């Protein structure tokens, strides 16, 4: 039996109508993006790519993501204040990853000079996929937390109306969330200047470091979450429930210490389809899968270069069918995977948390042909959860 989606697709006239209404609604709502051809033009824009239909998300998992967001806000903020932890967690990474090393240099300098501003503003987005277990159950698993480049907040709040074909006119400003990795020397100087200034930074340098993938992997070690929530075992349980397997690729620093990293390499090469290899990069398109992962691991396994990566269990969401509306792309039914993001905001003044909230969500959907990549990278498109 054909699904309702397939029925719509089979009816060419209806499909054409729906698509043009949907695209108009996106334009009217200000769900816009600059074009690839004219990335700097303000005269030419198009709709930001989006799904024709919302995608089902189980309500309990959506609620779970919402509830754990305040814990994640606290966690990120506490990590950012724990110099000893950041030093230890990132020690191996900064030896081989120049970008993180530059951030760390600025961090050390401002630490030494003392705080220029006691108010901290944090805005982050914790991303999840709904993992399908062999027993048929589904669970919320964190992909990563973005403490910088937590983009699309401005558009996410507008897409529900697009799916409802609303007609309200709105103007939107949004920030394309690319985190440029090709900082020039001048830009590093500018970053240092900002960190030393009295401005309220978002994120400040320590919160930026708290959101690195290496820190994410270190948090999954036994006992580490307890360090940040010594009196709140329930928060530890809530956070840990969203973790999937994360593994270090650290080298042997002292006797026996590198064995864990060696085990990770062997485990990944033996069963590459179960894992994702991630470098310390942001913005999509950097992760390594399958045979490529084996090749990279074979090349770096004997050198400290391998510590620029972490290994993670592959999360396996249930594929769903949808039509991805993207400028110039043909209208076809795609098999898709969804990624749910929750936005967190907090403000701390000195030692006192004066605001700690979950302030919204984002659903991004991509065709299963793509392993990686976000909306700005042209792979994922904006979507809405249909709570079920």
State the residues that interact with ligand ADP by CB under 6 A: 127, 143-144, 276, 278, 282-284, 286-287, 312-315, 339, 372, 374
Q: Is residue 125 annotated as a catalytic residue, yes or no?
A: yes
Tokens of 323: 């039509």
Q: Tell me whether the omega of the peptide bond preceding residue 313 falls within 30 degrees of 0, making it cis.
A: no
The residue from 158, 201, 214, 278 that is catalytic is 278
Task: Examine residue 203 and say whether the peptide bond preceding it is cis (omega within 30 degrees of 0).
Answer: yes
What is the closest distance, in whole angstroms, from the C-beta atom of residue 221 to ligand ADP in the complex? Answer: 17
Q: Which two tokens stand for residue 214?
A: 């290496």
Compute the radius of gyration of the chain from its Cα atoms.
Answer: 22
Cross-strand bridge partners of residue 312: 246, 276
Joined together, the tokens standing for residue 137 give 């159950």
> Minimal distance in Å, beta carbon 165 to ligand ADP?
28
Catalytic residue flag (residue 146): yes
Which of 92, 151, 287, 384 is catalytic? The answer is: 151
Cα 291 to Cα 88, 269, 299, 370: the distances in Å are: 32, 9, 12, 15
Task: Please identify which of the residues 73, 144, 238, 348 carries the catalytic annotation.
Answer: 144
Q: How far apart are CA 351 and CA 19, in angstroms?
A: 51
Which one of the listed residues 23, 30, 195, 282 is annotated catalytic? 282
Comparing CB distances to ligand ADP, the nearer of 29 and 282 is: 282
Nearer to ligand ADP, 134 or 351 (CB): 134
Q: Give, for 111, the enclosing helix (H) or strand (E).
A: helix 98-113
Q: Is 189 a catalytic residue?
A: no
**At its nearest, how many Å lie between ligand ADP and the CB of residue 133?**
14
Output the smallest distance, CB 278 to ligand ADP, in A: 6
Active site residue 164: no
Active site residue 234: no
Decide whether 218 or 282 has the Cβ nearer to ligand ADP: 282
Cα distance between residue 375 and residue 364, in whole Å: 7
Which residue of this chain has its Cβ atom nearest to ligand ADP in the complex?
Answer: 315
Active-site entry in 177, 283, 341, 374 = 283
Are 28 and 169 contacting, i.e. CB atoms less than 8 angstroms apart? yes
**Nearer to ligand ADP by C-beta: 127 or 250?**
127
Closer CB to ligand ADP, residue 9 or residue 380? 380
Given 364, 366, 374, 384, the catalytic residue = 364
CB of 375 to ligand ADP, least distance (A): 10
Active site residue 136: no
Separation between Cα atoms, residue 254 and residue 62, nearest integer Å: 43
What span, in angstroms and rounded, lies between the C-alpha atoms of 83 and 371? 35
Of 236 and 315, the one with the shorter C-beta distance to ligand ADP is 315
CB of 276 to ligand ADP, least distance (A): 4
Angle, helices 185-196 vs 98-113, to 10°: value is 30
Q: How far apart are CA 208 and CA 192, in angstroms?
A: 13
Name the residues annotated as catalytic: 125, 144, 146, 151, 213, 278, 282-283, 364
């Amino acid at each position: 039996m054909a699904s309702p989606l397939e029925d719509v697709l089979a009816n060419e006239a209806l499909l054409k109508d729906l698509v043009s209404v949907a695209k108009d609604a996106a334009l009217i709502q200000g769900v816009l993006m600059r074009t690839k051809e004219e990335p700097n033009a303000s005269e030419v824009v198009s709709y930001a790519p989006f799904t024709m239909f919302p995608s089902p998300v189980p309500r309990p998992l959506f609620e779970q993501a919402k509830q754990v967001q305040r814990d994640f806000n606290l966690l990120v903020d506490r990590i950012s204040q724990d110099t000893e932890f950041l030093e230890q967690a990132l020690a191996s990474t900064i030896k081989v990853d120049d970008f993180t090393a530059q951030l760390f240099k600025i961090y050390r300098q401002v630490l030494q000079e003392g705080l220029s501003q006691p108010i901290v503003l944090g805005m982050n987005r914790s991303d999840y996929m709904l993992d399908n277990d062999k027993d048929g159950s589904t669970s919320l698993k964190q992909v990563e937390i973005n403490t910088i480049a937590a983009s699309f907040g401005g558009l996410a709040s507008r897409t529900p109306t697009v799916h409802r074909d609303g007609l309200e006119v709105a103007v939107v400003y949004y920030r394309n969330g690319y985190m440029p990795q090709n900082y020039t020397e001048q830009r590093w100087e500018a970053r240092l200047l900002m960190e030393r200034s009295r401005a309220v930074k978002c994120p400040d340098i320590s919160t930026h470091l708290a959101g690195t993938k290496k820190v994410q992997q270190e948090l999954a070690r036994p006992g580490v979450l307890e360090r940040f929530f010594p009196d709140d075992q329930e928060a530890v349980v809530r956070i840990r429930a969203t973790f999937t397997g994360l593994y270090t690729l650290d080298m042997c620093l002292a006797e026996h210490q590198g064995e864990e990293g060696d085990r990770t390499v062997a485990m990944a090469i033996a069963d590459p389809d179960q894992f994702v290899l991630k470098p310390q990069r942001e913005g999509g398109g950097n992760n390594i899968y399958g045979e490529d992962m084996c090749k990279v691991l074979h090349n770096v396994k004997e050198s400290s270069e391998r510590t620029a990566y972490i290994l993670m269990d592959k999360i396996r969401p249930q594929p769903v069918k949808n039509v991805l509306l993207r400028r110039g792309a043909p209208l076809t039914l795609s098999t898709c995977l969804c990624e749910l993001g929750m936005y967190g905001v907090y403000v701390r003044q000195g030692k006192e948390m004066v605001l700690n909230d979950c302030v919204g969500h984002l659903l991004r959907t991509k065709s299963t042909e793509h392993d990686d990549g976000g909306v700005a990278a042209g792979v994922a498109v904006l979507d809405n959860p249909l709570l079920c």
